Structure 1
Amino acid sequence: MYKRLPLILIFFLAAQLLCQGQVPGFFMKEDKRKVNIPFYSSNSLIILPVSINGSTPLNFLVDTGVRSNILFSKTLGDAINLEYTRRIKLVGADGADDLMASVSPINTFDLGPVDGIFQSLLVLEEEFVELESVLGVPVYGIIGYEFFKYNPVKIDYDNGKLTFYKSEALKWKPLFYRKVNMQVFENKPYINITVKQKDGSILNPKLLIDTGANHGLLLNRETSDDITMPPLFIESALGQSLGGVLYGYIGRVDFLKLANFKMDEVLTSYPDETPYSYVIKESGRMGSLGAEVLGRTKLIFDYPRNRLMIRKAGNFYAPFQYDMSGMALKKILDDDNRIYISEVRAGSPAQRAGIEVYDEILEINKVPTFIWELSEINKLLRSEPGKKIELEIRRYESDDLTKYKDLKFTLTLKQQI
């Protein structure tokens, strides 16, 4: 009798800890069926303010495409007194293998009505600031799998709201939603969809659902000979990863079907093969679905039940438009809202108008740049073929920023794909 008592006590204490949510994960602070968390959306990417161990709230990207929570700055990690236990090497999506991170194993994340407890953080030793230059708002890290693993989470892009449900909630599919079987493999979610390519062939690819990527559909050609390039495409930088810029081609597919919801003429990225491609092949996936597609839906991720539930959002039937200017823009990382041109595509309206890389934009249609959000400018540049855009540009003559000339250009937007 007495020999069995310690074992009973151990089970009792373990049960108590589980009941109190004392295992790594995200949990509601109050006993409710659901709570809402507002988010800021930039190009349909989900950005939440997160307080770490009582720190000032920091912007984090909610990303189903990553396994671990990541902080982009060790300087910031040191400033909020994170404790580290070891160092590890990370592999970026472009195949880079020289990203070092320190592991901070036990932290508390405060998201308002939800706490993340016993949360591990990978803290990059070399600061990663490129997301801010591309999105136009500061982003200091990523929340990944841990946020989704125990509880259903609804993403309402229309209203900028996450709904975090009690783990036992949503046993039945809500009205107007369609269910898709979802596989969670190595802490990442995958589904199968139907894609009709421009050559008429049909694919049924397994795709990663990646809320942290700003593309629409992405197909990795190295994973299958059945993936074919469309006849019309442009070569371009596809996006920014932790390891660097991804390059490849942008085209379109005839349509994709997601839970039998059909999207036509979907913009599709075809990245170049990289040293990271072996990881993609090993997962069995042929590509991914990003925010440009996901942002046209309302989604409920239900990891515990291996299902994704989908309904159409208000912009579901909006046409997929790509930049029609030929310019890629970035924000200068300072206190002012300054925008410069990071890329000019050959043969594009921007190049024909005489615009050059590193030109700084002062005004757009006579409105000073500091009034614009970067996402609003990008939206304007893919808005309507034939639209005229007036730009006032500052062109620096050398590294000496006191030497420059201000120029005015007019370009006409033209659909290129």
Structure 2
Amino acid sequence: MKIVVSLFFCLIYSGIVNAQIPGFFMKEERRKVDIPFYASNNLIIVTVSINGTYPINFLVDTGVRANILFSKNLGDAMDLSYSRKLNLVGADGAASLVAFVSPTNHLDLGPVEGVFQNLLVLEEDFLELEAVIGIPVYGIIGYEFFKYNPVKIDYDKGIISFYEKDAMKWRPPFYKKVPMSIENHKPYITAKVRQQTGPVLNPKLLIDTGANHGLLLNKETSEDIRLPELFIETELGQSLGGELFGFVGRVRDLNISGFHLNDVLTSYPEETPFSYVIKESGRQGSIGAEVLGRMKLIFDYPRERLLIHRGEQFYAAFEYDMSGIEVKKVTNDEHRMYVGQVRDNSPASKAGILAFDEILSINKIPIIIWELSEVIKLFRSEEGKEIELEIRRYEGLDLTKYEDMRFRIVLKKQI
């Protein structure tokens, strides 16, 4: 599952302005402070306390301008105040959503605090990130966290280092500088992409820590962007208008300032009514967490530069799911997982596994022992690996009527 939220929130937040937002700052004057984070498929999750309440999980997302809280029920429990109500229309022109603007909040990340921070509070959590990340996530921190201070993300150590604003006057040893533009509160770089077919590209790419794809290319932005000969059609993510579909294939080489990544998994979303926003931005795609998680990154928004260094997983192969199963977690229940969808002509499809089957055990190990990220990693692990699944299949919506079954699948690469 690819998590695609940036475009939607770019649109809905564009009219929210508050002149009293100074940003995020260290509580004590130091050169840098460290904030630990949890990485789920290289998505960055930190704990945040809003106005002194109990800390909850937030996603750190360079691809989103707003700070977002996913649930108004939670916002009400925190006694948030609201200044505006927004009625939003989805990408399909039919889906609707209500959101509220909560001004001047205090966000506490331990040694770093956000003062006078606006929150966009959704009436309903339509994204349900817990289902695809595996742990509860209640909101997003966006541009405000990065705008004044250099921020280093070390995926290997699980540490965000928040630097004093003048601490990065010189480039650290072994890091390469990549020119980065900040446009509409989002970071962009130019890379070089060698496709399987078609010309070499020099696309303008959004740097998006909140999307778990590797590389994404928007075909509608350039006739030079070509699908590879080998690709699969699949669901790429979730937006207000519903599921986002497209294709997944590979490019031969992604070159970021001399750092080369080979056979990079690449998403090619179908054109949507929101595609005009991408075209107007001048970008041709984005780089997500599957690529970014292989590096050490320093975002320096004030100096408009990205500093990069190879991480421990830089040379690891890019592997896609070989089972055909999109596994999801039952939200608000830490011990249950189910089959979200089954890809056509995949090992799972040929074995007879169906969408909405509940997974009871994997290789005779009860699902209560597994983390969602471990299951995803297993299904990407090794072509030819045999996996036994114990499945519970319900009869319609009646949870008292079901049949337990066992299936054996052999992992097989499709791209």
If the length of structure 2 is used for normalisation, what is the TM-score? 0.93
Number of the residue aligned with 1:37? 35
Query: Which whole-Å CA distance do the structure 2 matches of 1:89 and 1:111 have between them?
Result: 30
CA offset at residue 239 of structure 1? Answer: 1.8
Give, as a single letter, the amino acid of the residue that structure 2 aligns with 1:305: R
* Cα distance per residue 1:176-208 (max 9 Å; x no partner): 100000000010000000000011520000000
Number of the residue aligned with 2:307? 309
CA offset at residue 130 of structure 1? Answer: 1.8
RMSD: 1.4
> SS where residue 129 of structure 2 aligns?
helix
Q: Label 1:108 to 1:208 Cα distance change in 2 as closer, same or farther (>3 A).
A: same
Are 2:146 and 1:148 aligned? yes
CA offset at residue 100 of structure 1? Answer: 2.4
Number of the residue aligned with 2:214? 216
Query: Which whole-Å CA distance do the structure 2 matches of 1:284 and 1:84 have between them?
Result: 34
Number of the residue aligned with 2:6? none
1:374-413 correspondence runs (5 A): 374-413=372-411
Number of the residue aligned with 1:351? 349
Query: Which whole-Å CA distance do the structure 2 matches of 1:41 and 1:204 have between them?
Result: 30
Query: Which whole-Å CA distance do the structure 1 matches of 2:187 and 2:91 have between them?
Result: 17
Per mean C-alpha deviation after superposition, the further-off stretch among 81-90 and 229-238 is 81-90
Q: Label 1:67 to 1:181 Cα distance change in 2 as closer, same or farther (>3 A).
A: same
Number of the residue aligned with 1:246? 244
Give, as a single letter, the amino acid of the residue that structure 2 aligns with 1:310: I
Q: Label 1:93 to 1:322 Cα distance change in 2 as closer, same or farther (>3 A).
A: farther
Give, as a single letter, the amino acid of the residue that structure 2 aligns with 1:56: Y
> SS where residue 237 of structure 2 aligns?
strand
CA contact (8 A) 1:87 1:100 kept: yes
Number of the residue aligned with 1:115? 113
Query: Which whole-Å CA distance do the structure 2 matches of 1:94 and 1:216 have between them?
Result: 26
Query: Which whole-Å CA distance do the structure 2 matches of 1:192 and 1:89 have between them?
Result: 35
| Identity of matched residues, % | 67
Number of the residue aligned with 1:11? none
If the length of structure 1 is used for normalisation, what is the TM-score? 0.93
Number of the residue aligned with 1:180? 178
CA offset at residue 245 of structure 1? Answer: 2.0
Give, as a single letter, the amino acid of the residue that structure 2 aligns with 1:277: S
Per mean C-alpha deviation after superposition, the further-off stretch among 266-275 and 128-137 is 128-137
Structure 2 spans left out of the alignment, 5+ residues: 1-19
> SS where residue 227 of structure 1 aligns?
coil
Structure 1 spans left out of the alignment, 5+ residues: 1-21
* Cα distance per residue 1:116-164 (max 9 Å; x no partner): 0000000011223521111110000000000000000000000100000
Per mean C-alpha deviation after superposition, the further-off stretch among 236-245 and 103-112 is 236-245
> SS where residue 230 of structure 1 aligns?
coil
Per mean C-alpha deviation after superposition, the further-off stretch among 83-92 and 116-125 is 83-92
Q: Which has the larger radius of gyration?
A: 1
> SS where residue 351 of structure 1 aligns?
helix
Query: Which whole-Å CA distance do the structure 2 matches of 1:367 and 1:152 have between them?
Result: 44
Q: Label 1:168 to 1:92 Cα distance change in 2 as closer, same or farther (>3 A).
A: farther
CA offset at residue 405 of structure 1? Answer: 1.0
* Cα distance per residue 1:214-245 (max 9 Å; x no partner): 00000000001010110000000012335432
Return the match for 2:125 from 117, 127, 131.
127
> SS where residue 304 of structure 1 aligns?
coil
CA offset at residue 336 of structure 1? Answer: 3.8
